[in-house]
Structure 1
Amino acid sequence: MTQPHVESHKPRMNLFELAPDVYRAMRTLDRAARKGVDPALAELVKIRASQLNHCAYCLDMHIKDARAAGESEQRIYFLSAWEEAHGYYTEQERAALALTEAITVLTDGFVPDEVYERAANHFEEAELAQLISLVLVINSWNRIAVTCRTTPGTYRPGQHNGSA
């Protein structure tokens, strides 16, 4: 069996060393966005957005954090096909994942009213605002890590080294 050709991607830069004020601002924004969001749900949202954005560094980080927090392997494995994985995610989690996808993949159009309303039916307005903020922040982290080609595989749970 032959190995597929995999192009080597060397890190381009450490944006946060070169723009430390941006790093501090992102960390502050990240902490603010997580307030009041269930930590297990937050990790599911971060993993799903990172899958959609093809961010290996953030996938590595948030899968490790989810495991460290006690998330089941099956729920992590099935996340890319959550719509088909009936019985593994609550209706609230499914609404949050649908909203995460709609916000993350804006090339498909605007966030549909039915997706927004579904989430609004499962979250109080302040909780929904926090969830939307969380999705916005993980998308920003993803774009930084993908653009700078941050090397996956180095993160250890409880460690924050450039992404949140």
Structure 2
Amino acid sequence: MTTTDTQDAQSAPYAHEHTPRLDLAARHPEFYRAMLRLEAAASKEVDPALYHLVKIRASQVNRCAFCLDMHTKDALAEGETVERIVQLSAWEESRHFYTEKEAAALELTEAVTVLTDGFVPDEVYERAAKHFEEDELARLVGAIVVINAWNRIGVTTRMVPGHYTPGAYKK
């Protein structure tokens, strides 16, 4: 490849942005408001840094580009490191970037998110239970369930990533 070819490839426009399928908030506002209330309840008393990691990891697994855009921007704005966010997709190989408690939460996040692989294994749940008191664990499970619901909304309605401003959806 010549220098000119490389420059042309680098200056080529990006692919076109897709169009959302449905504005769920506008078409079913009662449901959307209920989801916002569920989000507010799920995030209560959960460590914000941990909550960001859980939201990002579930969104990676579910391939929800809108949620990845939102939650990585929010995490960065609140002080999370680029390195820890980048390593999330390979957290098991990058365990040294995370505490044991965070790793247990990430493992539980994956198990709850990918239920098509079977039930949440007892050993995964037990590892999480070693790091979280029951009330904390209940809140963590709630947080995982809510981000999975948001991911399904984002993917199904084809919400468009790239336009989110950090903190735009603060409770």
Higher helix share: 2
Residue 92 (structure 1) aligned with residue 97 (structure 2): no
Question: 1:36 is matched by which residue type in structure 2?
Answer: E
Which residue number in structure 2 is paired with residue 43 of structure 1?
52
Match for 2:118: what amino acid? G
Is 2:140 the partner of 1:131? yes
TM-score by length of 2: 0.89
Asked if the contact 2:59–2:67 (Cα under 8 Å) also holds between the matched residues in 1, the reply is yes
One of 10, 19, 23 as aligned partner of 1:10: 19
1:10 deviates by 1.7
1:34 matched residue in structure 2: 43
| Rounded Cα–Cα distance in structure 2 between residues aligned with 1:33 and 1:44 | 14
Deviations 1:73-95 (A, max 9, x none): 10000000000013100000000
Checking the alignment, whether the CA contact within 8 Å between 2:66 and 2:162 is kept in structure 1 is yes
The whole-number CA distance in structure 1 between the counterparts of 2:167 and 2:97 is 26
1:49-64 maps to which residues of 2 (within 5 A)? 49-64=58-73
Question: Deviation of residue 38 (structure 1)?
Answer: 0.2
- Structure 2 gap segments, 5+ residues each: 1-5
The residue type paired with residue 23 of structure 1 is Y
Given that 2:95 and 2:103 are in contact with CA atoms closer than 8 Å, whether structure 1 keeps it comes out as no
Among all aligned residue pairs of Structure 1 and Structure 2, give the percentage whose two residues are the same amino acid. Answer: 62
Structure 2 equivalent of residue 107 of structure 1: 116
Measure, in 2, the Cα distance between the counterparts of 1:86 and 1:94: 7
Deviation readout 1:52-71 (Å, 9 max, x if unpaired): 00000000000000000100
Matched residues, number: 161
* 1:76 aligns to 2:107 (yes or no): no
What is the TM-score of this pair, normalised by structure 1? 0.93
CA RMSD of aligned residues (A): 1.8
C-alpha deviation, 1:9, in angstroms: 3.2
For residues 38 and 127 of structure 1, what CA distance do their matches in structure 2 show? 9
| Whole-angstrom distance in 1 between the partners of 2:71 and 2:95 | 22
Counterpart of 1:118 in structure 2: which amino acid? R
